Structure 1
Amino acid sequence: MFKFLKEVVGGSGTGLKDLPYNIGEAYPSAWGSWVHHRGTNKDDGSPVSIFSLTGSTAQDGHLAAGRNGVKRLRTVRHPNILSFLHSTEVETYDGGSPKVTIYIVTEPVMPLTDKIRELGLEGTQRDEYYAWGLHQVAKAVSFLNNDCKLVHGNVCMASVVVTQTLDWKLHAFDVLSEFDGNNETSSTSMLQYAWLVGAQYKPMELVKSDWAAIKKSPPWSIDSWGMGCLIYEIFSGTRLGKTEELRNTGSIPKSLLPDYQRLLSSMPSRRLNTSKLIENSEYFQNKLVDTIHFMEILSLKDSVEKDTFFRKLPNLAEQLPRPIVLKKLLPLLASALEFGSAAAPALTALLKMGSWLSAEEFRVKVLPTIVKLYASNDRSIRVALLQHIDQYGESLTAQIVDEQVYPHVATGFSDTSAFLRELTLKSMLTLAPKLSQRTISGSLLKYLSKLQVDEEPAIRTNTTILLGNIATYLNDGTRKRVLINAFTARALRDTFPPARAAGIMALCATSSYYDITEVATRILPNVVVLTIDPDSDVRAKAFQAVDQFLQIAKNYYQKTNVAEGAAAAGMGSSSVPENAGLLGWAMSSLTLKGKPSDHHAPVASATTSTRTQTTSSASSETPSTVPVRVSSSTDFAEQPAPPSPTSTDGWGELENGIDEEHEDDKDGWGDLEPLEESKPAPALANIQAAQRRPVTQPVAQTKLASNSRSKSTPKLNEDDELWGSIAAPAPKTSKPLNLKPNATDDDDPWAAIAAPAPTTKVKPLAAGRGRGAKPAALKLGAQRINRTSSSGM
């Protein structure tokens, strides 16, 4: 009859080798003669429970009852009944005498007594958990009695086990039998293994073997008595020793006491049906039971009920027993989200519960659900995920982010909702460090390039901020190609003041990634313009940035000056005092009314002044007249890192666009000669020669200034190469100068520096000092002052 359960193996104790489970340590308690072992699956190592029962002969009554229990457990399935996995019988020989052992493999469980001791709950939380457990056992007993017409026969604390999710489950089906009150001949088969049940757990009619009374009683009468015994053992904390102890009700909760007394009624027909206990007992109406019950029937609730429940759940979870929340509610919530029955607010509760877990448990129990949710098309779920990414982003591995999360997140960059685009952008601050260089260059930067020209100013601003924050995760080539273009060509020219301020801050934050040439030719010229920005915050940040980048230039100068110190000493000239004097002269030429003794030959400072004026003019308006063409050996618009023709991140096209824009706007930067065409050595010698000459001849300087103001605009073009070489930021890359051996007033290389013609229309300054609106006019205030000074000399 039970051949399908048997796997009889001959030999001396080798039968267990065929069992696909490893038997581990035994628990100290189990029901009846069974031994409860911990175990694992040999294939995947997953935990299981293994129950073993050993008999001396195959006809042992305990073995017969055990086989009945295996049969019943295998065929009866219910959420609150222990789940059956595998069973076998093994015959072994011990000292020449045969022994038969039955093994039952089930889901991993722990005896109820051990679990209660382990949890150590007290007060209200203990009562709530006991209510939930008794509620589950009552449902299992009601299912057996009312639906299956079966009698368990021994409901007690030993017959209840607890799963890893802290659910209580009924087992120990050895005594289980059918209830047939109409069949008089069934007395011999009904509860034929009742002799295994202790007398203290038997109702009076079963103790007396009054089968007539039992048959006339309802099917639940015996098991209702057992439920009363279980309630007593749970709240008293001790095993029932004798039936009289059931009268001690001091430990029973007052809300449960009336039902407890009805369960233990001396008249079988008046005992409370367990189904009525579940429906009507006041004791089962508490927050824990209601919360778990709602989660179990979540699919039957409408959207309004779900939304209301999940918004209250984060606060409610703090009031419930923490172990039950983490081991029971959290898996239910994760499953509901994964299969779509939970609303977006449930994610907030999931992450709050997950924050109570250890890092390892969080990765195992919560992260898989979150990763799966990224594939959801529900926009509210995506918004909730991105809003809380800071709570779980650090737990995501680089591989998961690059392969499973980012492909779904990237769809938000082009979403029609500006709110979702901004959330997607902000999430990159957490995800970008975990992305591969291929993903960053081939995908992320493309989206950021588009977002920098988004219609929403806040998105444009945040894109600039993000680029500054993730710059450290870009490789050198990408940084050279992207950062300056993104910050100077777009952010600094944005119409939204916070976007311009963000561009300045991003440049400052990434200053360590720029070489001195980029600082001098691309960054400083663009930042200086913003020192006259209409927005005060932008101006303040611009001045800070100018100071920072000038300090970088000074540090570079000091380093290079050490190497050039010997050569400078041999020429009898030092660049530091000369540059300081020239800067003072350039300022005096605009503020003083012709004091020849205060004037010095302008070189670098005049160049800086000219470039600043040109940039400011280009930013304010497009000149209507032909601008003065100022050539230099450094092309500001074409000075970024070598372009990448194979670039696909959207920034290569930006570089070309910048050049074209400069040419169209005629802002003075497009006509500059490229740096790469110059030869360093001759230029350095020529520059130094030009620097030495005017400094030692103060009278000639005054004459030089006078001549320079009388030169026309076409004459400036003849000195383009001279001016460009002097303006070169690094002497080693300057273009050779074509200085004539005998410098006259008309051919003096400094003539174009003193007072270049204005490139845009500006309002005239105060009388006697300012320049007129027409750049081609010769009668300028500065010229009159200088001519007076010359005549005075």
Structure 2
Amino acid sequence: MFKFLKEVVGGSGTGLRDLPYNIGEPYPSAWGSWLHHRGTSKDDGSPVSIFSLSGTNAQDGHLAAGRNGVKRLRTVRHPNILSFLHSTEIETFDGGSSKVTIYIVTEPVMPLSDKIQELGLEGTQRDEYYAWGLLQIAKAVSFLNNDCKLVHGNVCLASVVVTPTLDWKLHAFDVLSEFDGSNETSSTQMLQYAWLVATQYKSTELAKSDWAVIKKSPPWAIDSWGMGCLIYELFSHLKLSKTEDLRNTASIPKSLLPDYQRLLSSTPSRRLNTSKLIENSEYFQNKLVDTIHFMEILSLKDSVEKDTFFRKLPNLAEQLPRQIVLKKLLPLLASALEFGSAAAPALTALLKMGSWLSAEEFRVKVLPTIIKLFASNDRAVRVSLLQHIEQFGESLSAQAVDEQVYPHVATGFSDTSAFLRELTLKSMLVLAPKLSQRTLSGSLLKHLSKLQVDEEAAIRTNTTILLGNIASYLNEGTRKRVLINAFTVRALRDTFAPARGAGIMALCATSSNYDINEIATRILPNVVVLTIDPDSDVRSKAFQAIDQFLQMAKQHYEKTNMAETTGGASDGSSSIPGNASLLGWAMSSLTLKGKPSDHAPVASVSSSALTPTSSNASSGMLNDRSLILNLIF
């Protein structure tokens, strides 16, 4: 038996000081005599709902029913029944009068009538959402009637509330009682609180208090009538004012009308059991209900069913009510991915839904799941993350990339699959700007050094291109130590022509990092050799590079002569202009100039032969200091 925490305090309202929740503004509507307040936890600020019921003395009939409701709500648990958190009863004195108030704290919810107005759904989307909500309430009522042999007694629009994830939940248990036709106490208890139910919501036998008929009726008879009242109020957008209004079926959907009429049968024994309503009604068969149902039993589906479902989900999500997708489906999908019950294609759907969120909501609701997925051992998930990294990479914080993402991504550099090695390489274009100097020089450059001698020629080529693009994120000492060696000793001497061309382009793109001595003694001698390269594209790039570096040498010469003529002292450094080049990925490792790779991709990916960086890429090199990257897929 539930034991109430009861405090008797002096002074109006002082008992609330010990309530571990803050009571906020009330909603405009609530069931019965209760007030429904917004609230927050004093511990962590998490939202809650607080229901309060007041009476002039402890023996007040409303308070007696309220205590019954608290006891029932605390002990009856079901996914579609409001979740109980805390309760207390406080008696306060003001002058010579006393006031007793019962407080119930639950999960955060909003009255259904208010939520319907807020959502503003119309047409098919409204009908699909109503179907989903009615299905949830029907499950709750069926659980009470068939599994628990309990009668709610007042199912109606006011007894339904909605969670932040837009789930409908049944509450208002003040009238709820056991129902057993062979037990006299059940009728006594039901009769005790039946006066709380407004006349228009009472079935004929309940309105007459004909307990002989009620005891012979099935336990769902009274609540099936209540379901009919709920359906009427939901679709008519009117509060039921008299029982006769239930005969007005103009607003009831045709697919639901036969079941609605059976729920309101004048003969209690013929009323439709809510369990049969769930099983048989055509009304509950729609895209939204089917989609949410599939997600909720995802762990029971096989891999083929999951794969098919998640490949269709991005397009399907566009047809469903947007708010329901973001508040209901998105959390389900994120949870399924996080705990491994969803297949890799689900990531595409997650990012599709996430694109409809604000930047802040995306960081809160989607990014934590994505970050956790990087630790997955499922290669298909890792591939999917890398393929979509441009969609979420900018939202990742530098700390998260450096500490949580990069350590897992870096394992792909040494993967046996060329396809995964290449995806890992390309992901660095997004991640490298967020890496610390310690990670860049201590880890990333070591991996890139190995990839420059990779057996896949396209990977060697794209490694050089990546180095050229991330050079600005390296500190000066690292650039001096790494860049020229990487581009001249390795790239310019590669047996693969596009790799040599990429080396030339990378030198041009990073020319502002070299002094005149390096240009004259280390760069120009290595580039001049390529003017007789067998590949015409390499020769063309070599001549363009020579022109650029000779122009820089000439500027240094003119500056030096000017300093000597004016008697000034030259500092020995050249005024090296900024430069730009179009450093795009040379090609995919899946296709090397029409020659298939020896490494099969780890997942089915549509890929076509990629065009090597053209010689036109270096045109206008001296016009802009930024590196412009063209990703060629």
* Pair in the same fold by TM > 0.5: yes
Cα offset for 1:535? 1.2
CA distance in 2, matches of 1:566, 1:321: 76
In structure 1, C-alpha distance between the alignment counterparts of 2:410 and 2:9, rounded to whole Å: 60
> Is the 2:36–2:49 Cα contact (8 Å) retained in structure 1?
yes
Whole-angstrom CA distance in 2 between matches of 1:256 and 1:124: 14
State the match for 2:511 in structure 1.
511
What letter is aligned with 2:154?
N
Q: Give the match's secondary structure for 1:98.
A: strand
Shift in Å, 1:283: 0.3
Deviations 1:514-535 (A, max 9, x none): 1111111111111111122111
Deviation of 1:542 (Å): 1.3
Change (3 A) 1:566 1:116: closer
Q: Mean alpha-carbon deviation: is it higher for 8-17 or for 427-436?
A: 8-17
Question: What is the alpha-carbon distance in structure 2 between the residues aligned to residue 543 and residue 40 of structure 1?
Answer: 70
> SS state of the match for residue 188, structure 1?
helix
Report the Cα distance in structure 2 between the residues aligned to 1:283 and 1:732, rounded to whole angstroms: 84
Aligned to 2:311: 311
Equivalent position amino acid for 2:494 in 1: D
Q: Which residue of the partner structure matches residue 491 of structure 2?
A: 491
CA 1:103 to 1:551, structure 2 compared with 1: closer, same or farther past 3 Å?
A: same
Q: Which amino acid aligns with 1:194?
A: A
- The 1-side partners of 2:307 and 2:571 are apart by 70
- Check if 1:447 corresponds to 2:447: yes
CA contact (8 A) 2:89 2:101 kept: yes
1:158 aligned partner = 158
- Report the residue type matching 2:279 in the other structure: E
Letter of the structure 2 residue corresponding to residue 419 of structure 1 = F
Contact 1:69 1:173 in 2 (8 A): yes
Question: Counterpart of 1:398?
Answer: 398
Alpha-carbon RMSD across the aligned residues, in angstroms, is: 1.5
Structure 1 CA distance, aligned partners of 2:25 and 2:105?
14
Q: Match of 2:101, SS? A: strand
Q: Could you say which residue in structure 2 is the equivalent of 1:459?
A: 459
SS of corresponding position for 2:4:
helix
Instruction: Name the CA distance, whole Å, in 2 between partners of 1:360 and 1:386.
Output: 22
Give the aligned partner of residue 322 of structure 2. Answer: 322
- 1: distance between equivalents of 2:2 and 2:540? 90
Displacement of 1:369:
0.5
Check whether the contact 1:177–1:191 (CA below 8 A) recurs between aligned residues: no
Q: Secondary structure at the match of 2:86?
A: strand
Give the Cα–Cα distance (whole angstroms) in 1 for the partners of residues 135 and 441 of structure 2. 58
Aligned to 1:705: none
Cα distance per residue 1:150-207 (max 9 Å; x no partner): 0000000000000000000000000000001112454212352111111110000000
- Residue identity in the other structure for 1:55: G
Give the secondary-structure state (helix, strand or coil) at the position aligned to 1:22. Answer: strand
Asked if 1:202 is matched to 2:202, the reply is yes
1: CA distance, partners of 2:8 / 2:488: 83
Q: Hey, what does 1:4 align to over in structure 2?
A: 4
SS at match of 1:400: helix
Deviation at 1:6, TM superposition (A): 2.8
Q: Is the 8 A contact 2:4 2:89 kept in 1?
A: no
The SS at the match of 1:4 is: coil
Judging changes above 3 Å, is the alpha-carbon distance between structure 1 residues 435 and 183 closer, same or farther for their aligned structure 2 residues? same
Give the 3 Å change call, closer, same or farther, for CA 356–567 of structure 1 in structure 2: closer
Counterparts of 1:123-162 in structure 2, within 5 Å, are 123-162=123-162
> Counterpart amino acid of 1:187?
S
Q: Distance in 1 between matches of 2:168 and 2:89?
A: 27
Structure 1: distance between partners of 2:292 and 2:2: 39
Specify the code of the residue in structure 1 equivalent to 2:415: D
Give the SS at the match of 1:241. Answer: coil
Aligned to 1:335: 335
Does the alignment pair 1:59 with 2:40?
A: no
Q: How far, CA to CA, are the matches of 1:7 and 1:489 in structure 2?
A: 83
Equivalent-residue separation in structure 2 for 1:255 and 1:12 (angstroms): 54
Alpha-carbon contact 1:145-1:151 (below 8 Å) kept: yes
In structure 2, relative to structure 1, the CA distance for the partners of 1:23 and 1:732 (3 Å cut) is: closer
Matched residues in 2 for 1:9 and 1:515: separation? 83
Q: Alpha carbons of 1:566 and 1:42: their partners in 2 closer, same or farther (altered >3 Å)?
A: closer
Q: SS where residue 59 of structure 1 aligns? A: coil
Counterpart contact for 1:153–1:222, Cα < 8 Å = yes
Determine if contact 1:176/1:191 at 8 Å carries over to the other structure.
Answer: no
Partners of 2:390 and 2:191 lie apart in 1 by 60
CA distance in 2 between counterparts of 1:7 and 1:415 reads: 66
Q: Give the superposition deviation at 1:552.
A: 1.0
Shift of 1:7: 3.7
> Hey, what does 2:582 align to over in structure 1?
none
Contact 2:191–2:209, Cα closer than 8 Å, also in 1: no
Paired residues of 1:8 and 1:89 also in contact (CA < 8 A): no
Task: Summarize the Cα distance change of 1:340–1:526 in structure 2 as closer, same or farther, 3 Å threshold.
Answer: same
The CA deviation string for residues 496-546 of structure 1, in whole angstroms up to 9 with x for no partner, is: 111111111111111111111111111111111112211111111111111
What is residue 523 of structure 1 aligned with on the other side? Answer: 523
Residues 393-417 of structure 1: CA deviation (Å, up to 9, x unaligned)? 0110001111111111111111111
Distance of 2:452 and 2:192 partners within structure 1: 82
2:622 maps to none
Q: Does 1:50 align with 2:46?
A: no
Distance 1:185 1:355, change over 3 A: closer
For the residues of structure 1 that align with 2:237 and 2:298, how far apart are their CA atoms? 34
Report deviation, 1:13.
2.2
Deviation at 1:10, TM superposition (A): 4.2
What code does the residue aligned with 2:560 have? T
Deviation string, structure 1 residues 413-456 (Cα, Å, up to 9, x no partner): 11111111111111111111101001111111110100010001
Aligned to 1:701: none
Shift of residue 334, structure 1, vs aligned partner: 0.4
Greater CA radius of gyration, 1 or 2? 1
Q: Is the 8 A contact 2:9 2:93 kept in 1?
A: no
CA contact (8 A) 1:144 1:150 kept: yes
- Structure 1 residues 17 and 731, CA, compared in 2 at 3 Å: closer, same or farther? closer
Distance 2:406 2:258 in 1: 59
User: What is the CA-CA distance between 1:309 and the residue it aligns to?
Assistant: 0.6
Q: Could you tell me which residue of structure 1 aligns to residue 75 of structure 2?
A: 75
Q: Where in structure 2 are the equivalents of 1:560-599 lying within 5 Å?
A: 560-565=560-565
Name the residue aligned to 2:426: 426
Deviations 1:468-492 (A, max 9, x none): 1110100000000000010011111
Aligned counterpart, 1:695 = none
Distance (Å, rounded) in 2 between the aligned partners of 1:566 and 1:76 = 95
Secondary structure at 1:453 match in 2 = coil
1:599 corresponding residue in structure 2: none
SS of residue in 1 equivalent to 2:192: coil
- Describe the superposition over 1:314-334 as per-residue Cα deviations: whole angstroms up to 9, x where unpaired: 111111110000000000000
The answer to whether structure 1 residue 537 and structure 2 residue 537 are counterparts is: yes
The structure-2 alpha-carbon separation of the partners of 1:497 and 1:342, relative to structure 1 and needing over 3 Å to count, comes to same
Relative to structure 1, is the Cα distance of residues 212 and 423 closer, same or farther in structure 2, using a 3 angstrom cutoff?
same
Q: CA deviation at 1:91?
A: 1.1
Equivalent residue letter for 1:538: V
Aligned to 1:193, what secondary structure does the other structure show? helix
Aligned equivalent of 1:252 = 252
Task: Provide the C-alpha distance between the structure 1 equivalents of 2:55 and 2:159, rounded to a whole number of angstroms.
Answer: 21
In 1, Cα distance between the equivalents of 2:331 and 2:282? 27
The answer to whether the Cα contact below 8 Å between 1:37 and 1:50 also exists between their aligned partners in 2 is yes
Q: How does 1:350-365 map to 2 (within 5 A)?
A: 350-365=350-365
Partner of 1:682: none
Task: Report the CA distance between 1:567 and its aligned residue.
Answer: 7.3
CA distance in structure 2 between the partners assigned to 1:53 and 1:186 by the alignment:
25
Q: Which residue of 1 aligns with 2:553?
A: 553
Give yes or no for contact 2:179–2:187 (8 Å, CA) kept in 1. no
1:470 equivalent in structure 2: 470
Contact 2:4 2:87 in 1 (8 A): no
Amino acid at match of 1:111: P
- 3-state SS, counterpart of residue 91 of structure 2: strand
C-alpha distance in structure 2 between counterparts of 1:427 and 1:411, whole Å = 13
The residue identity in structure 2 corresponding to 1:6 is K
> If the length of structure 1 is used for normalisation, what is the TM-score?
0.71
CA contact (8 A) 1:175 1:191 kept: no
SS at 2:344 equivalent: coil
Matched residue type, 2:219? P
Secondary structure of the residue that 1:471 maps to in structure 2? helix
The CA deviation string for residues 94-150 of structure 1, in whole angstroms up to 9 with x for no partner, is 233111111111111000011000000011000000000000000000000000000
Q: Give secondary structure in 2 for the equivalent of 1:103.
A: strand
Residues 178 and 186, structure 2, Cα contact 8 Å, conserved in 1: no
Number of equivalent positions: 572
CA contact (8 A) 2:295 2:333 kept: yes
In structure 2, C-alpha distance between the alignment counterparts of 1:481 and 1:166, rounded to whole Å: 58
Give the fraction of aligned pairs with identical amino acids, expressed as a percent. 88
Is 1:409 the counterpart of 2:409? The answer is yes
Cα deviation 1:685-716 (Å, max 9, x = unaligned): xxxxxxxxxxxxxxxxxxxxxxxxxxxxxxxx
Cα distance in 2 for residues equivalent to 1:133 and 1:185? 33
Partners of 1:324 and 1:119 in 2: how far apart?
Answer: 9
